[in-house]
Amino acid sequence: MFEYLSEKLSFSLRNISDQGRITEVNIKDTLREVRMALLEADVALPVIQEFISRVKESALSQKVNKSLTPGQEFIKIIRWELINTMGGQNDTLNLAAPPPVVVLIVGQQGVGKTTSVVKLGKYLGERQRKKILVVSTDVYRPSAINQLETLTKNINIDFFPSEIVQKPLNIVHLALTYAKQHFYDVLLVDTAGRLHTNNFMMNEIINIHIAIKPVETIFVVDAMTGQDAAKVAKSFNSMLPLTGIILTKVDGTSRCGAALSISYITGKPIKFLGVGEKIDALEPFYPDRLANRILGMGDTLSLIEQIERNVDYTQAQKLTKKIKQGNSFDLTDFLHQMKQIRKIGGITGMMNQLPGINKLPDSVKLQMQNDKLLVHMEAIIYSMTAQERVNPEIIKGSRKRRIAAGSGMQVQDVNRMLKQFTEMQRIMNKIQKDGIMRSLKKIIPHRFF
């Protein structure tokens, strides 16, 4: 989602880096290009005007750090203003209220609202150890209640049953009473999708809000709708006191106009980003981390957190122990490592969070971001016998043809995988010989040790 703006801003900021100092004359063209980049990214015009005005004022003030180069100064200012435009800081859900904390989820139809409810339930249950109850008041969309029930069962979250013949207001009263009686920490209320222009539907959600007095009223919006998302959110907020926003489909091809516009226009913080289709693909929103990604600085903190949550440390310890004992790194170990990479979002997910990736040629990025290679390599290894995985040197012509046929690949694909494994095995053997710290010092600058 953010690659387009990242590339455009990098291109826009190239001229200022060679200047001796920042002046109104030499930032004029740069600001014009930044303005065009934001317009093409579908950022709302009032947001762009305010953003450019603040950047210009900061750049020409005497408060700029003179120890930095003009390019560094200007990028620092751009980054700071991007952070401010997106809300300034991470804003978490208010779960400090007496339980059950009621979280009302609202939005238009088709924005991923029901899925977001389940993702939020999983997030609060697993990462914050909360006891969650979920209920649906969507009596208008066929199978909406069944969809939510099915999704919650898959992740072991409690679901409060409801029927399409019931009134939404009665459903939430019953669910809230049940949540109190059974000591739930959080009650998540999924609602029907509605347009802000539909008076009947808006009156219904307003009455629900008055009746259950939610601590949080979260508006779910599709990032693919660009700056229009901010306009819709503003209309909802004028009738319903929103407390935050979930921005869905951030992993899509939109140009991030919604992310940069919605907080400024509504005055409400983005609290979560839907970063994929999987149920665990919901992340807290950090304006500073997103600003870093937009400016090509990466998001290593989020990557580290993702690794900590998903890496199988038991398996990692077994591999470490195996290498220390002098046992060779085999294809089964190689398979486990590829699975670990896929669990943390694959090569593409990792690369999107690493600094400087946007500066690589497109051909290189496409080659590196081909996550299908991991799937193909796994299929090849699964087609091998146990003996072949331990002793890959025995894999010759006839075995390669059998493995290729069994995995649906070509012999050259098998050769490529074996070559990559040999390189990984060489690295592991080097670590075994020299020790982990000595090996790292050869590839990482000494100042880090």
Which parts are annotated binding residues for GTP? Answer: 107-114, 190-194, 248-251
> For residue 443, what are the contacts with CB-CB under 8 A and spacing of at least 6?
none
Rounded CA separation 185/94 (Å):
12
The total of other beta-carbon atoms located within 10 Å of residue 157's CB is 23
Return the closest-CA partner of residue 53 out of 42, 38, 70: 38
Residues flagged as binding site: 107-114, 190-194, 248-251
Return the closest-CA partner of residue 73 out of 35, 39, 23: 23
Rounded CA separation 76/364 (Å):
28
413: left (phi over 0), alpha (psi -120 to 50) or beta: alpha
Torsion angle of alpha carbons 223, 225, 227, 228, nearest 10°?
A: -130
Output the DSSP codes for 13-37.
Answer: TTTGGG-SS--TTTTHHHHHHHHHH
Which residues, in sequence order, are bridge partners of residue 186?
A: 101, 132
Rounded CA separation 239/202 (Å):
8
Going across the sheet that includes 132-136, the strands are 158-160, 132-136, 186-190, 101-107, 216-222, 244-248, 270-274, 282-284
308 neighbors 16 (Cβ within 8 angstroms):
no
